[in-house]
Homo-oligomer: A and B are copies of this chain.
Amino acid sequence: MDNRKQAQTETLAHGDYETGLTETDRLDLRVWLRLLTCSNLIERSIRQTMREQFGTTLPRFDILSQLDRTPDGLTMGDLSRRLMVSNGNVTGLVDRLVGEGLVLREPSPHDRRAQLVRLTKPGKQAFADMVPAHAALVKAHFSGVKREQLTALHDMLGQLKDSLNDSNNGADSA
């Protein structure tokens, strides 16, 4: 029984995308699976808290967050790019937020054919209510990493992101 409990603990601690990799596996693959593991661990935890504490999904929170940063509003295209999901996915979520009075659509002052999406006053308030819990959660997840390490991680991920965007743009224009 103790053995089984220990095995469970080990599986809990070690069971993720990296499990079973060996030293002979490529460094790039190991970095990728570790990146994916960290990202999934944090996302899963934030998703769960948002659901339990606010009865909301993470994509809804992400939409409110993007709109909060852009008081003048965003086109649906901008919004879907920033959330890195398809236009179709965002449309349904925005429709529901409009229905709840948290978000509104209006014609762009610069281009009458384009519609802008922005927060209503209740939407701004709903988002403000969630921010402290979200911030505390993110902070807790990174609390085990020293600040200078966090700065270094930020820089390295910045290099990686630039390199990813370069290769994506290359692929687009090819």
A→B interface (CB under 8 Å): 9, 11-13, 15-17, 19-21, 26-32, 34-45, 62, 66, 69-70, 77-78, 81-84, 135, 138-145, 147, 149-154, 156-169, 172
Q: How far is the CA of A67 from the CA of B162 in the complex (A)?
A: 34
State whether A84 touches B41 (Cβ < 8 A).
yes
Instruction: Tell me which residues across on chain B come within 8 A of A9, comparing CB atoms.
Output: 169
Task: Knowing that A34-B157, A45-B168 touch, tell me 9 more A-B residue pairs with CB under 8 angstroms.
Answer: A11-B81, A13-B165, A16-B161, A19-B66, A30-B154, A35-B38, A38-B164, A141-B164, A143-B167
Q: How far is the CB of A160 from chain B (nearest CB, A)?
A: 5
